[in-house]
Structure 1
Amino acid sequence: MTVYWFMMAWVILFGILAQVSARKVCVGEYLGEEVYESRVHLFVAVVTFAVIVFFAGARSYVADTTAYIKMFNDYPLFQNAHDVIFDSSAREPGFRLFSILIKTYISDNYTVWLSIIAVISGICVMVPLYKYSCNFGVSAFLFMASCQFTWMFNGMRQFLVAAIIFSCTGLILKNKTLLYIIIVCILSTIHKSAFILIPMYFVAQGEPWNKRTLLFIGCIVLAMLFTSKFTNLLTDVVEQTDYATSVEEFRNTDDGTSIIRILVESIPIILAFIYRNRIKGKLTPIVKLSINMSLIASGLYVISKIASSGILLGRLPIYFSMYNLILLPWLLRNIFDKKEKDLVYYIMIICYFFFFYYQMEIAWGGLEYASKILNVKY
């Protein structure tokens, strides 16, 4: 845990510096007056995320890293890779091609490979927060304290897809539907679960609590009412996807996403619903999108609990839950007055610290970290 606590301290320190040095920009109008929000300087934003990228790239062992390293070392060079790239029995041709090109033309050192993926993932998370978050420091803190950062250490292939699509937020805001779908289809060659982004793209469009989002809520209610049939349906679907090889392994041991995780990830959408009348006239396009994405994330977490599939279906919400990093700071800024706001910020920080400790130390039993290049092991 030493490495992760160091990362937390770094993110908090530079997150604070980012906000202190932030500039004010106009993001729209409310009641005839211009509304200004803080936007940090790009350099400080990069430095804030640099520590996560550095340790993610330098790792030799964290959870599934060993399997990824073995896979990379077994890949042939591009000249001899035809059978590997076009192997119909494998499910990630895009990821294999990407990795083989790195090994052939950049370096056959797995640390370089992991670092490139970490840089891409880190930048793709940082840029939307830099562009859209009204409080980058809080967003960066939430990325650490909610343990979403651990995806860069465990589950990096799916998170690479999630981060890239998160960086394409502007395409959703500009209604670039065709381009968005093309990108999703390309990313599905890295991780097939990306296809869920296509139907959810249409659910997330428009005003919060519109007919499409209410229909999505209705589907969740039906899933609760018909739990056993729904679970069997999901199992049949998942067995045909990228998770197929893991279904049998986890069928008898996975009891679904934890209630604590569901609660933590649902806080933003719960606040948005409770105070929907107070924020109604203040909603910007990015906030509307973030509310809808947060609703989808919470719904999928609930479904994963119903289906007792935290390891399989519980991984899907990462495509949507990163919008909570934008939504929660905005809600805290726009719901509460100054006296309430200070108290709520303190409560939020304390609660997320407790969650970080619980998730890392208790739920995961202390997430190990080892790096040969840094000569450290914790």
Structure 2
Amino acid sequence: MPVYYFSLVWVSICGIISNITSRQVKISDKVYENRSRLLIAVIAILPIIILAGFRTGVADTSAYIMNFEDYPNNLSTAYSMIFDGNRRDPGFLFISILIKQFISTDYTVWLSIIAVISGICVMIPLYKYSCNFGVSIFLFVATCQFIWMFNGIRQFLVASIIFGCTGLILRRRFIIYAIIVCLLSTIHTSALILLPAYFIVTGEPWDKRTILFICLIILTILFTSQFTGLLEDAVENTNYASSMEEFKATDDGTSIIRIIVESVPIIIAFMYRNRIQDKLTPIIKLSINMSLVASGLYIISKIARSGVMLGRLPIYFSMYNLILLPWLIKNIFDKEEKRLVYYLMIVCYIIFFYYQMVISWNGLEYASSILNIKYQTINIQR
């Protein structure tokens, strides 16, 4: 647990330094925003990458390590495994075998490469598009999204790469974007949700497409039992089938607290939509739509009692909250209000961090033989 506290303190300090040393860049005519220095952005994400890459025991890490050690270390003997029609992650297997054959058979090197790719792909859009990188990187840790780099690495590898491809969405390069999504779906098939979602998130905020999505959420709430049955039929032969069967008895969907926390940016954007209408930039329009989809999926996962399956899909969209929330605070509130909102935000997200890490996850263990660190979960009396 102390390593996670360290991560929060580290990004907070880097965030302060980032704001002090930031530079102004021109976004459009007469519009300037502060941007972090690249060196500070790299320094901020670096310890998280190191902790993720050097781990030996966090959640599902041991299972990933065992799988890696069982992988063949040459492509000639791996052909049948990669092209096995029943295999759910041929792309991930292919990448892993390439690393094992041409780089190293040490699983720490493998985990570190994945951590570097994931971390850099998160950092670059925040560095490039966030008007306050310090707040964005703080939120990345405080909302516990950084834990995906320690648990669920296949899906987060896909989500982070897609996040890194934000520029393709902004420039409407759908063909290239679709090819990348299809390739990434060989690592985690859930990535395919990004193809239909593209046509929702590229519209204007609160247009007909987003209203249609909101109607879908309402229909899901009204016809919960039918939707849940349809959901189970749809995933019967997919990656999620075994997970759903295993957790069906205990899965109560995404927690209400998580839904509230992740919905804060889109609620603020809706409440003040008239005030920000003339200030919207392409990245903020995209972020609003992404935030809406994320909140909608979280709500649906709660209604359908499917935290294992649907509750994991919003990670493809919720990272845009890291860009959206700082922009909303900057552009909605005046100087005095802004200062108060920042203080409230920091306090509330630290409380959520504590709740998620200590109460919900019992401290979340961490072990690293290289760093000589080992922390067990906390036993909490309930």
TM-score for both structures, normalised by structure 2 = 0.97
User: Is the Cα–Cα contact under 8 Å of residues 244 and 308 in structure 2 kept in the other structure?
Assistant: no
**Structure 1 residue 96 and structure 2 residue 79: aligned?**
no
Once the two structures are TM-superposed, the CA of residue 235 in structure 1 deviates from its matched residue by 1.5
* Cα distance per residue 1:17-42 (max 9 Å; x no partner): 1111110011124xxxx111111111
* Equivalent in the alignment of 2:288: 291
**Structure 1 residue 71 and structure 2 residue 67: aligned?**
yes
Once the two structures are TM-superposed, the CA of residue 239 in structure 1 deviates from its matched residue by 2.2
Partners of 1:304 and 1:239 lie apart in 2 by 17
* Equivalent in the alignment of 2:240: 243
**Structure 1 residue 326 and structure 2 residue 323: aligned?**
yes
SS at match of 1:241: coil
User: Is the Cα–Cα contact under 8 Å of residues 271 and 331 in structure 1 kept in the other structure?
Assistant: yes
User: Is the Cα–Cα contact under 8 Å of residues 193 and 241 in structure 1 kept in the other structure?
Assistant: no
**Structure 1 residue 258 and structure 2 residue 276: aligned?**
no
Partners of 2:355 and 2:235 lie apart in 1 by 29
* Cα distance per residue 1:112-142 (max 9 Å; x no partner): 0000000000000000000000000000000
* Equivalent in the alignment of 1:358: 355
**Structure 1 residue 170 and structure 2 residue 167: aligned?**
yes
* Equivalent in the alignment of 2:190: 193
Once the two structures are TM-superposed, the CA of residue 312 in structure 1 deviates from its matched residue by 1.4
Residue 87 of structure 1, aligned match among 84, 89, 98: 84
Partners of 1:348 and 1:244 lie apart in 2 by 38
* Equivalent in the alignment of 1:27: 27
SS at match of 2:302: helix
Once the two structures are TM-superposed, the CA of residue 238 in structure 1 deviates from its matched residue by 2.2
* Cα distance per residue 1:303-349 (max 9 Å; x no partner): 00011011211000000000000000000000100010000000000
User: Is the Cα–Cα contact under 8 Å of residues 18 and 137 in structure 1 kept in the other structure?
Assistant: yes
Matched residue pairs, number?
374
SS at match of 2:33: strand
* Equivalent in the alignment of 1:54: 50
* Equivalent in the alignment of 2:212: 215
* Cα distance per residue 1:229-274 (max 9 Å; x no partner): 0111111112232111212101111000000000000000000000
User: Is the Cα–Cα contact under 8 Å of residues 27 and 35 in structure 1 kept in the other structure?
Assistant: yes
Q: Name the stretch that deviates more: 264-273 or 230-239.
A: 230-239
**Structure 1 residue 337 and structure 2 residue 334: aligned?**
yes
Q: Name the stretch that deviates more: 76-85 or 157-166.
A: 76-85
* Equivalent in the alignment of 1:3: 3
Residue 40 of structure 2, aligned match among 41, 44, 47: 44
Once the two structures are TM-superposed, the CA of residue 294 in structure 1 deviates from its matched residue by 0.2
User: Is the Cα–Cα contact under 8 Å of residues 239 and 247 in structure 1 kept in the other structure?
Assistant: no
| Residue type at the aligned position of 1:307 | A
| Residue type at the aligned position of 2:15 | G
| Residue type at the aligned position of 1:205 | T
Partners of 1:241 and 1:44 lie apart in 2 by 41
* Equivalent in the alignment of 2:379: none
SS at match of 2:237: coil
User: Is the Cα–Cα contact under 8 Å of residues 133 and 326 in structure 1 kept in the other structure?
Assistant: yes
* Equivalent in the alignment of 1:150: 147
* Equivalent in the alignment of 2:378: none
Partners of 2:249 and 2:341 lie apart in 1 by 40
Partners of 1:310 and 1:238 lie apart in 2 by 14
Once the two structures are TM-superposed, the CA of residue 7 in structure 1 deviates from its matched residue by 1.0
Residue 312 of structure 1, aligned match among 309, 313, 333: 309
- Runs of 4+ in structure 1 deviating by more than 3 angstroms, as ranges, are none
SS at match of 1:81: helix
TM-score for both structures, normalised by structure 1 = 0.98
